[in-house]
Structure formats: C-alpha cells, structure tokens
C-alpha cells in the first residue's frame, strides 16, 4: 500500500498588508520533512507514525510547509506547494492523509484547501482522502465534497494536533480494512466567531465541543468537529461550521451536524467579541494600576496582533494611552527599521527627534476614509540602549529558539519607553525587553502587540491585563464592522442584525434534546 502524506498550513488574514511568500513556509521535502515530523506532536507526525506501524506500507511525503498566520499567500507559493502534492498523486497511491489548516487564501484562490482536494480527487477518483484541520479553518462545500474523512482540532490553544491526526488516520485505516465506510456532511452557520471566543476551556465554545464529543459516542458517528473558522478572511465561507463523518449514513452525518449547528446558533452571542472604545479600556487599566499589587498592567493591542498578520507598527493604542495621561509605559516591540536607522548612532543623552510607526499602509478594508489613514508619529527623546536584538527564548512558547528582532533601540520619550526593532516580532518572551536592559516587571504598563501568545510569560509578572482594540481599526482589529468585506456571504452574524439561521428540515427530525447519548440539557445555556 502506498500512502501519500503532506502538510500545508496557513491561516490567512486577507486584510493584512503583508503577503505570505514561499520562504515564509520554510518548506521541507521528502526525507527532510520525514525526519522533522516523525516525532512531532502534529497531525502529520501522527500520520507518519500510523503508517510506519503498518507491516506493508510505503510512505510518500512530498512536502511539509507551515507559515505563521499572516497576509494573503502569493500565487507562486500556492502553486508550488500544491503541485508538490499533486505530482506525488500517481496511480499507485492507495490512500491520502493531509494535514491542512483550512483557512488558506492565495492571490488567485480563495479556497486553497478546497482547490487542492478537488484536484487530488480528479487525479485519484477512487482513493480515500482523510484530512486533519485546524479548528480555525473556514470549511467549504468543495472541501466536504472531495474529502472522505475530515477531523478538526477540539482544543484552542491547540494541544490535540497529534490526537486529531491519530483520529483521522485511524478512520482511514479502518476504511481501507473494510471496517467502516466514512461519509462526511457539514452545516455552515451565518456566524463569524472571534478568536478570543474560540478558546475551548470555557464559554460557548467549550459547550459546543462537549456536544461534539458526546455525539462522537453515538452509534455510527465517527468524527464531529466544531469549526470556529477564521473571520479575518474575506472569502465567501469564512466563519463557523460543523463537520461530521459518519459510517455510511449521510443522513445521520447531516442530522448530527444540524443538531450541533442549532446548539451553536442558540449560543451565537457567546462567540462574538464586543470591542469597547480604547479610552474605556485605558481607564480600566489605569484603575487596575492604582490598586495594590505587583507588576505592570498589560495592555494587549489586539488590533495589531503580530502573529495573525499585524504590521507591528500601528500607534493608535500608544497614542491613546499618552492622550489619557498614562505614564510608566513600556512598549514593545514596535517594528520600524527607518526609526532604528535614524536613532542607531545617537549619542548617549543626546535629545533626538524621530518619526515612529504607521509606516505600512493598513489594508484599504480597514481604512475606509482618508481621515483614518495614519501618519508616523513624531517623538522627542533619548536612546537609552542598543542591542542586536538577538536572544534565546526562555518562555514556554518556542523555548530554546534563537530569536532575532534585528537591530533594536530603547527610546525613552518620557512617559513611555519604546523598544523599536527592525523585524516584526510578537512578544511571547521577556527577552524582547531584557535584550535592551529593560526589566519587564518594572514599568506600570506594558503595551504588547499580542492577543494570546504573550499571556503565558507576561501574565505571571503582571497585576492583570486589559484588552485594547484601536477605535479606528487595525490589521487584526476585533471589530469586524471596520473591515469592508467584499466576498463574504451575507447576511452574517454579528455584522448583520437581520441574520437568520435556517438549517432546513434535517434538524427538525432530531431536536437537540431528543436523542439518547447526545447533548443533554445540562450543556445548553440556561
């Protein structure tokens, strides 16, 4: 038996002005990919281990490629990565296992995963195809039509990548052995969820995933996934969906998908994040700083979240904080190579004036009027430290990795100290401040361009956090009304107040409370 395995992962923020090119994926091919992924806690790692445990299996791994979330993928990168998989899809392939994200958009294709699966199906019409997805994938009809098995993560933060791969591989091997006949159906919801509301530890998402797990214990149900989707993708199918793989029974798969979709719709507001005005957030931060306690208040600028396509150079939240009279602020990193170049040779204690930030024009979708177009801000201050910006990560994310932010300066403007770098860097390690000699526990406020990754390292040294969204938006704003979606299906909640969900007749056959072993009333909202 010949197994075709591959990994292509990208979560595309089409509103980010920063394109994602082939080198960003750091693709590995063949034996190099195999060596890297053999022991990895990824879906692909699980696929490899499942196939290698078989006595008579050959494994073909043309490519493993993953890039950090960011802007639209170039058509060159999309063509190259997909072609690697398609070239390996020869007539002697017995089965296909793909580790995909599900929310990849390229310049020339809004649904990269669906395109790849359709092309694979064209080349291998009779071969079973199993797919593992990130729960932030935007599922499409084309993906469901051309995959036999779809299993997505059930956790965010994602700690079950390998379990998801094991699940998909187990179903595929069962199908090859004639032990099951997987069929997949889905139900899409008119619902844009927010990343901060897709965490699976609590709230509406926790209850939805619990319903999915319960449904997986029903006879004939092989896999159930709640897809939170990724909303900063201007493509028709962005948002939430439920995907179900059942054993030969398409009606059952559809019923389960509809039932859980109805459950999600009932809790739709639990998936929505309501941004408050920046000034309100900053007032809460000031109040928190005034209370007894140790450490800084974290100001999380999630309108410019670096790891989901942020430019790392928007200045709105800092400007608002200074306007509100906050002081003792440390900001970092801000990416601005021009400012670094201008400050690099400044003498100690020399007062210098420099323009900082707002260099990269934010996508037109988030900048609806000329008035919102930003300009660099002019500051006067002193350079307190310089560094090559290189350090070893000691925090729990990417521990041990060498990180380089490029040349880095600590620029003191009085009420704030700015860590300005040559490269975009999400602050997921204390090293971003320590490399210029700044103790991150010392300031009153830490302004971080991070929504989630900063938390494991910065929360323990802080007295608390306040999420700050910029009033006029940014490349990763949480206020989706600020983006001019052109290709998204409408109406969709929460953008359109008149959004209705009509699942069709299938749901009416099996109400959510009815079946034994399915979601009980305890999992529904009171």
Residue (136 or 154) nearer to Zn ion, CB: 136
Residue (206 or 390) nearer to Zn ion, CB: 206
Is residue 60 at the binding interface for Zn ion, with CB under 5 A as the rule?
Answer: no
Residue (99 or 134) nearer to Zn ion, CB: 134
Least distance to Zn ion, CB of residue 10, Å = 11
Nearest to 185 by CA among 129, 247, 111, 229: 247
Angle subtended at Cα 199 by Cα 109 and Cα 115, rounded to the nearest 5 degrees: 15
CA dist 426 → 166, 399, 436, 457 (Å): 31, 14, 16, 12
Strand partners, 186: 243
- Bridge-based pairing state of the strands 58-60 and 64-66: unpaired
Least distance to Zn ion, CB of residue 228, Å = 8
- Return all residues near 484 (Cβ < 8 A) that are at least 6 apart: 364, 365, 366, 368
Least distance to Zn ion, CB of residue 9, Å = 9
Least distance to Zn ion, CB of residue 86, Å = 25
Residue (136 or 386) nearer to Zn ion, CB: 136
Least distance to Zn ion, CB of residue 13, Å = 12
Helix, strand, or coil (residue 33) = helix
Residue (152 or 494) nearer to Zn ion, CB: 152
Least distance to Zn ion, CB of residue 413, Å = 36
Residues 123-142 that bind Zn ion (CB under 5 A): 134, 136
Nearest to 443 by CA among 458, 421, 457: 458
The CB density around residue 390, as the number of other CB atoms within 10 Å, is 14
Task: Give the contact letters, 296-335, x = binds to Zn ion (CB under 5 A), - = no.
Answer: ----------------------------------------
Q: Which residue is nearest to Zn ion (CB)?
A: 136
Residues 134-193 that bind Zn ion (CB under 5 A): 134, 136
Q: How far, in Å, CA of 130 to CA of 16, rounded?
A: 31
Tokens of residue 22, six digits: 């082939």
Residue (136 or 374) nearer to Zn ion, CB: 136
- Characterise 95 by phi-psi region: left (phi > 0), alpha (psi -120 to 50), beta (else): beta
Residue (104 or 354) nearer to Zn ion, CB: 104
CA atoms within 13 A on the CB side of 251: 5
Least distance to Zn ion, CB of residue 496, Å = 25
Residue (200 or 477) nearer to Zn ion, CB: 200
Residue (133 or 221) nearer to Zn ion, CB: 133
Least distance to Zn ion, CB of residue 78, Å = 20
Tokens of residue 178, six digits: 């004639």
CA dist 40 → 160, 165, 487 (Å): 12, 11, 36
Residues that bind Zn ion (rule: CB under 5 A) add up to a total of 2
Residues 505-524 that bind Zn ion (CB under 5 A): none
**Inter-residue contact 70 to 15 (CB < 8 Å):** no
SS3 string, 329-368, reads EEEEEEECHHHHHHHCCCCCCCCEEEEECCCCCCCHHHCC
Residue (51 or 191) nearer to Zn ion, CB: 191
Least distance to Zn ion, CB of residue 103, Å = 8
Least distance to Zn ion, CB of residue 105, Å = 15
CA dist 445 → 89, 313, 427, 433 (Å): 54, 18, 14, 13
Instruction: Give the residues lining the site for Zn ion (CB under 5 A).
Output: 134, 136
């Amino acid at each position: 038996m010949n197994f075709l395995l591959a990994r292509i992962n990208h979560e595309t923020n089409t509103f980010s002005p920063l394109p994602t090119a082939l080198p960003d994926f750091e693709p590995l091919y063949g034996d190099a990919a195999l060596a890297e992924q053999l022991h990895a806690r990824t879906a692909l790692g699980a696929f490899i281990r499942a196939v290698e445990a078989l006595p008579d299996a050959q494994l073909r791994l043309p490519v493993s490629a993953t890039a950090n979330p960011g802007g639209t993928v170039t058509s060159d990168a999309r063509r190259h990565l997909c072609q690697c998989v398609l070239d390996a899809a020869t007539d002697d392939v017995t089965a296909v296992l793909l580790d995909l994200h599900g929310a990849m958009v390229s310049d020339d294709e809004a649904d990269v995963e669906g395109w790849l699966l359709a092309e694979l199906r064209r080349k291998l019409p009779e071969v079973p195809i199993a797919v593992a997805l990130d729960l932030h994938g935007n599922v499409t009809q084309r993906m469901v039509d051309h995959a036999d098995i779809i299993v997505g993560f059930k956790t965010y933060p994602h700690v079950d990548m390998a379990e998801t791969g094991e699940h998909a591989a187990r179903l595929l091997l069962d199908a090859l052995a004639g032990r099951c006949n997987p069929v997949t159906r889905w139900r899409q919801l008119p619902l844009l969820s927010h990343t901060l509301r897709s965490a699976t530890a609590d709230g509406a998402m926790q209850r939805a995933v619990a319903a999915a797990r319960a449904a997986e214990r029903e006879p004939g149900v092989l896999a159930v996934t709640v897809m939170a989707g990724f909303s900063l993708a201007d493509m028709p199918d962005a948002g939430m969906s439920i995907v179900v793989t059942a054993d030969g029974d398409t009606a059952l798969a559809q019923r389960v998908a509809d039932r859980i979709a109805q459950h999600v719709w009932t809790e739709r507001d639990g998936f929505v994040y309501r941004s408050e005005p920046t000034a309100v957030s900053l007032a809460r931060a000031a109040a928190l700083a005034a209370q007894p306690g140790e450490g800084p208040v974290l100001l999380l600028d999630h309108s410019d979240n670096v790891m989901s396509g942020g430019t790392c150079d928007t200045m709105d939240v800092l400007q608002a904080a200074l306007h509100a009279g906050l002081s003792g602020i440390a900001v970092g990193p801000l990416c601005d190579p021009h400012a670094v170049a201008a400050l690099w040779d400044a003498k100690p204690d020399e007062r210098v004036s420099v323009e900082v930030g707002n260099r990269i024009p934010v996508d037109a979708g988030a900048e609806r009027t000329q008035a919102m177009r930003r300009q660099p801000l002019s500051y006067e201050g002193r350079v307190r430290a310089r560094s090559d910006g290189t350090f070893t990560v000691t925090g729990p994310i990417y521990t041990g990795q060498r990180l380089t932010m490029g040349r880095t300066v600590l620029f003191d403007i009085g009420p704030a100290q700015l860590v300005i770098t040559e490269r975009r860097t999400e602050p997921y390690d204390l090293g971003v401040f320590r490399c210029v000699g700044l103790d991150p526990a010392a300031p009153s406020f830490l302004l971080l361009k991070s929504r989630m990754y900063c938390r494991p390292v910065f929360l323990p040294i802080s007295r608390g956090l306040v999420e700050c969204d910029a009033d006029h938006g940014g490349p990763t704003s949480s206020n989706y009304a600020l983006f001019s979606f052109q290709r998204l299906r409408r109406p969709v909640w929460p953008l359109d107040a008149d959004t209705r969900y009509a699942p069709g007749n299938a749901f009416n056959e099996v109400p959510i409370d009815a079946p034994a072993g399915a979601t009980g009333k305890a999992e529904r909202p009171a």
